[in-house]
């Protein structure tokens, strides 16, 4: 066989593989080239796990963390351990085509270890509501569930718009949202929770208090006279958030008016589809007058 024919034959052999190759860019701008769409995905991010179940891609999910607890079926997936120190040995044994991680919950050491093993890592970093919807679309394309992802995004947008319509033109109460009590952690600039408060028709009293989710003093927070206080619970009866600690501040407008509330932090802090559940519940707490008993259930 001549050199030209040999080269042609090799090209024909490699052509199907090249056709399957997938070039993607993650949410941090990193470019990845995968030999084929990933069929075995490990999620180190609870929100990503929720998204993959939402779009019907759970069959591609071969590993999750101990914190991937929703939906209930996610608990039946093999666990690789915690988010900060997942078991590298377990991940390798699961033979993933791709690991999805986050800059806000996973360590760079994990990224470096996976890179040395030549296991591709797709990094997510949503900050805004639009970023969350974008992530859902991205994961849909990545897992060959594009149409399901598009439908989910459209439904979420419709619900967000419904909330906006109900609270439009109403006075905007001052809202103090407490992610964690000791040390006091609150949402500030470029925080998803701050945006959700705004969409719910409120003004976060700590929105100008730093970047992301900073520590804050209780005295400074209460001095801003919040009219609504939301305490985030974290799925346990032993939650460190104790209402009595706040109820004694009877001079604060929110406490005086009985507008001290608790809600599931997972609905507000996880950047998955349930974010809109959180928005709807938050809007009810901020503007109860805008919602009838049957609205937004």
CA distance 51 to 71: 10
Residue 136: count of CB within 10 angstroms of its CB: 27
Three-class DSSP labels, 2-54: CHHHHHHHHHHHHHHHHHHCEEEECCCCCEEEECCCCCCEEECCHHHHHHHHH
Radius of gyration of the chain (CA): 23
pLDDT band at 79, cuts 50/70/90? very high
Q: Taking the CB of residue 7, how many other CB atoms lie within 10 A of it?
A: 11
Percent above pLDDT 70 for the chain: 89
pLDDT band of residue 4 (cuts 50, 70, 90) is low
At residue 93, does pLDDT exceed 70? yes
Domains of the chain: 12-150 (3.40.50.1980), 171-288 (3.40.50.1980)
pLDDT tens track for 228-283: 999 998 765 445 456 778 888 999 999 999 999 999 999 998 999 999 999 999 99
Residue 99 half-sphere exposure toward CB, CA atoms < 13 A: 28
Strand partners, 184: 181
- The DSSP H or E segment spanning 233 is strand 228-233
- From the list 39, 38, 68, the residue with the least C-alpha distance to 51 is 68
Neighbours of 170 (CB within 10 A): 13
Q: Is the pLDDT of residue 15 over 60?
A: no
| Tokens 């891609």 -> residue | 57
Is it the case that residue 57 has pLDDT exceeding 60? Answer: yes
Dist. CA 176–CA 110, nearest whole Å: 35
What is the structure's pLDDT at 253?
A: 95
């Amino acid at each position: 066989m001549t050199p030209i024919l040999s080269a042609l034959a090799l090209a024909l052999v490699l052509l199907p593989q090249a056709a399957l190759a997938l070039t993607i860019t993650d949410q941090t701008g990193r470019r990845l080239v995968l030999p084929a769409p990933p069929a075995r995905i490990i999620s180190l991010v609870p929100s990503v796990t929720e998204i993959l179940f939402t779009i019907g891609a759970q069959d591609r999910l071969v590993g999750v963390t101990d914190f991937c607890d929703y939906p209930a079926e996610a608990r039946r997936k093999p666990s690789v351990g915690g988010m900060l120190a997942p078991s590298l040995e377990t991940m390798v044994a699961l033979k993933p085509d791709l690991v999805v991680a986050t800059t806000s919950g996973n360590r760079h050491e994990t990224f470096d270890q996976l890179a040395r093993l030549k296991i591709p890592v797709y990094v997510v970093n949503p900050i805004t509501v639009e970023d969350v919807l974008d992530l859902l679309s991205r994961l849909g394309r990545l897992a060959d569930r594009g149409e399901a992802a598009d439908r989910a995004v459209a439904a979420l947008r419709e619900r967000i718009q419904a909330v906006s319509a109900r609270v439009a033109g109403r006075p905007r109460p001052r809202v103090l949202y407490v992610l964690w009590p000791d040390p006091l952690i609150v949402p500030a600039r470029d925080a998803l929770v701050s945006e959700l408060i705004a969409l719910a028709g409120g003004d976060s009293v700590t929105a100008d208090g730093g970047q992301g989710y900073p520590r804050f003093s209780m005295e400074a927070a209460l001095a801003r006279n919040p009219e609504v206080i939301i305490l985030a619970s974290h799925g346990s009866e032993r939650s460190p958030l104790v209402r009595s600690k706040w109820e004694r501040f009877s001079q604060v407008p929110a406490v005086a008016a009985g507008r001290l509330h608790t809600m599931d932090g997972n609905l507000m802090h996880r950047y998955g589809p349930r974010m809109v559940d959180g928005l709807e519940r938050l809007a009810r707490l901020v503007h109860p007058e805008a919602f009838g008993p049957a609205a937004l259930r």
